[in-house]
Amino acid sequence: MKFPRRLFLASWLLPALCLPAARAVELPAGATPVLSALQAELDHSLTALKAEPVPPYFLSYEVTENHSYVVSSTFGTLLNSTEARTRHLDIDLRVGDHKLDNTHPLRGNQGFTMPNPAGGTTLLPIEDDPDAIRAVLWYQTDRKFKAAVEQLTKVKTNMKVNVAEEDPSADFSAEPAEVWIQAPVDLKIDRAAWEVKLRRYTAPFAAYGNIYGARASLNVDAQTWWYVNSERARLQTTQTTARLFIYATTKADDGMVLPRYETFFAFTPDRLPGDAEVLARVERLIKDLLALRTAPVIDPYAGPAILSGRAAGVFFHEVFGHRVEGHRQKGVDQGQTFKKMLGQPVLPASFTVYCDPTLDHYGPTALGGYYLYDNQGVKARRVTLVEGGVLKGFLMARMPIEGFPNSNGHGRKAPGLPVVARQSNLIVETAQPVSREKLKEQLLKLVKEQAKPYGLYFEDIESGFTLTGRFIPNAFNVRPIMVYRIYPDGREELVRGVDFIGTPLSAFSKVVAADDKPDIFNGICGAESGPVPVTGISPGLLLSQVEVQKKEKAQDRPPLLPAPLEKISSP
């Protein structure tokens, strides 16, 4: 239904140029014109709407500016080289009160529906013109307010016709108003020099006619973020990142597509590895692809396995990390795997697991899950999840859950999507590490005890995903690329075509030991609040039992025609 026009103040419907002058606001030193415009329009909006029958109790404006460079190449030639600058506006406007507001999930025949308080992103002018910025804010706030009042009516009706909720926690938490100002950083790169580099990085792949895809991409971003809310938070932060991504793929004679990836992450492009290191990795990718083409396909298997640190980082991210995100303990459609396990052992007593977005490096390696404030203006902080093997807590945004009434700085999202609790830098540590050689010895002992023909070693992974709902199996799938069979005599054999699958409680109960060499996986996680950068850090793990299934396989044959540029005979 349409919201009645008579509920709005006359001044609220005037054109942007006729807006009344906003009252003077006090901004910290170093605030840019963007932050000033956000604060001025926030004050104007709250003043204009406070006399309405259902006024907002909370309003925030969030602007994310990305100044980005993208350079990519394939087989020694340039694919694209671009520079772009965008600004995205997100508005969170809430009516009702902290206990019950318009964002409350709807329950019923359609399951569990989470309204989107942001309601999609809006492009803002990239020029620092306060009047132009305020005009967009003014109109979009009008839209959000009308939608919020209408949604609150639906929420209240839904509450009356459904059974009492399992978790009666409030919809929104009150948090301290943070103030922090960083001067924006505008990063410049020498695109011409990087075009030469990326051509060089993909040129070696062109020599092999059975490598069908090869690409190198450089993504450099200078992100400035502004945030103000009705609690008087005023934030202006800036961060630069650089990712170099190399991808190549081949195909086995049976049609199976076989990819290999390599990712490098740093906060500025000058801190990425030099040409010699990158080209050495390229040669390793080529060697792996050629070996994978002729590697035997593994059959479904259950038995002991070792996960490298990188593979274990993804394993913990998918199997554990997503299941300790706070909102998943509240949703009636969620499996709530760990909700009732607080204070109970979930891992061996030597294990500690925590998320810490305040860490920008782990040793010399930059961490992608680093940030100062989350997307709800809450200061980032370390959160202990497991201590001494015992579950201690959850990752929280500003949606309270039973026993956890406040955020711990993990409310994250991409522009245009609603904030939910997300991971940052997920770190797994053990107080009783063993050497990798000892871990292999323990694996072979388990192989013998279980009368298995071999154990498995997951060296590198492609990706992973997890299912946390009730309607479908509460399971995970970690997709390894480099997998080895380890035979009782210690011999290792590369295999292909395997996915590591399972259910969380069963998989966690099989963790036996960890090695003394943690490894780092920097990646991008996609979930309901969109892609956000994350990091997984873990030592190598020994599991007494894993289950693997065959990977899906294409049915079309490799190319019939010889590659026109092949310089090296394919095996």
Q: Which domain holds residue 424?
A: 301-550
**Residue in 495, 502, 499 with CA at minimum distance from that of residue 473:** 502
Give the model's pLDDT for residue 272: 97
Residue indicated by tokens 């706070």 = 326
pLDDT for res 245: 96
Reported as half-sphere exposure (CB side, CA atoms, 13 A), residue 468 has a value of 24
pLDDT of amino acid 443? 97
Question: Under a CB-based contact definition with an 8 Å cutoff, are residues 292 and 258 in contact?
Answer: yes
Tell whether 206 and 152 lie within a shared domain. no
Residue 563 falls within a domain, yes or no? no
Whether residues 134 and 207 fall in one domain: no
Q: What per-residue confidence (pLDDT) applies to 530?
A: 93
Question: Is 174 found in the same domain as 209?
Answer: no
Count of domains observed in the chain: 3
Domain annotation covers residue 133: yes
The residue ranges of DSSP E strands in 308-357, in sequence order, are: 351-355
Q: What is the DSSP letter of 388?
A: T
Please answer whether residues 90 and 415 qualify as being in contact, where contact means their C-beta atoms are separated by less than 8 angstroms.
yes
Q: Do the domain assignments include residue 43? A: yes
Q: How far apart are the first and last CA of the chain?
A: 67
In a domain, 571, yes or no: no
In terms of Cα–Cα distance, which of 231, 175, 170 is closest to 400?
Answer: 170
Domain-embedded: residue 545 = yes
- pLDDT of 12 reads 30
SS3 450: coil
* Residues 247, 108 share a domain: no
Q: Looking at the structure, tell me whether residues 275 and 389 fall in a common domain.
A: no
Cα torsion angle, 310, 313, 318, 322, sign: negative
* Cβ–Cβ < 8 Å for 380, 409: yes
**129 and 211 housed in the same domain:** no
Q: Are 238 and 224 in contact (CB under 8 A)?
A: yes
Determine the pLDDT at residue 111. Answer: 47
Within-domain flag for 73: no
Residue 186 lies in a domain: no
Task: Return d(Cα 543, Cα 409) in angstroms, integer.
Answer: 32
CB 216 within 8 A of CB 196: no
Q: At what angle do helices 33-49 and 130-161 cross, to 10 degrees?
A: 50
Residue written as token pair 């909700």: 339
Of 212, 214, 210, nearest to 202 (Cα)?
214
Question: What is the 8-class DSSP label of residue 148?
Answer: H
Per-residue confidence in pLDDT tens, the chain, 571 aa: 333 322 222 223 233 333 334 444 578 888 999 999 999 999 999 999 999 999 999 999 999 999 999 999 999 999 999 999 999 999 999 999 999 999 998 887 554 455 555 567 899 999 999 999 999 999 999 999 999 999 999 999 988 888 888 888 999 999 999 999 999 998 899 999 999 999 999 999 999 988 999 999 999 999 999 999 999 999 999 999 999 999 999 999 888 899 999 999 999 999 999 999 999 999 999 999 999 999 999 999 999 999 999 999 999 998 899 999 999 988 777 777 888 899 999 999 999 999 999 999 999 999 999 999 999 999 999 999 999 999 999 999 999 999 999 999 999 999 999 999 999 999 999 999 999 999 999 999 999 999 999 999 999 887 666 666 666 666 777 788 899 999 999 999 999 988 888 887 888 889 999 999 999 999 999 888 999 999 999 999 999 999 888 776 666 666 655 666 656 555 4
Q: Looking at the structure, do residues 323 and 427 belong to the same domain, yes or no?
A: yes
Q: Given 249, 273, 294, which residue is the final one in a domain?
A: 294
Full-model pTM = 0.89
The reply to whether 102 and 240 lie within a common domain is: no
Does 80 reside within a domain?
no
Instruction: State whether 330 and 257 are in the same domain.
Output: no
246 with 314, same domain? no
Q: Looking at the DSSP assignment, which residues form a beta bridge with residue 179?
A: 234
Spell out a b/e string for 173-209, using b for 16 or more CB atoms within 10 Å of the CB, else e. Answer: bebeebebeeebeebebebeebbebbbbbbbbbbebb
Tokens read off for 271 = 């801190």
Same domain for 150 and 105: yes
| 329 and 348 share one domain | yes
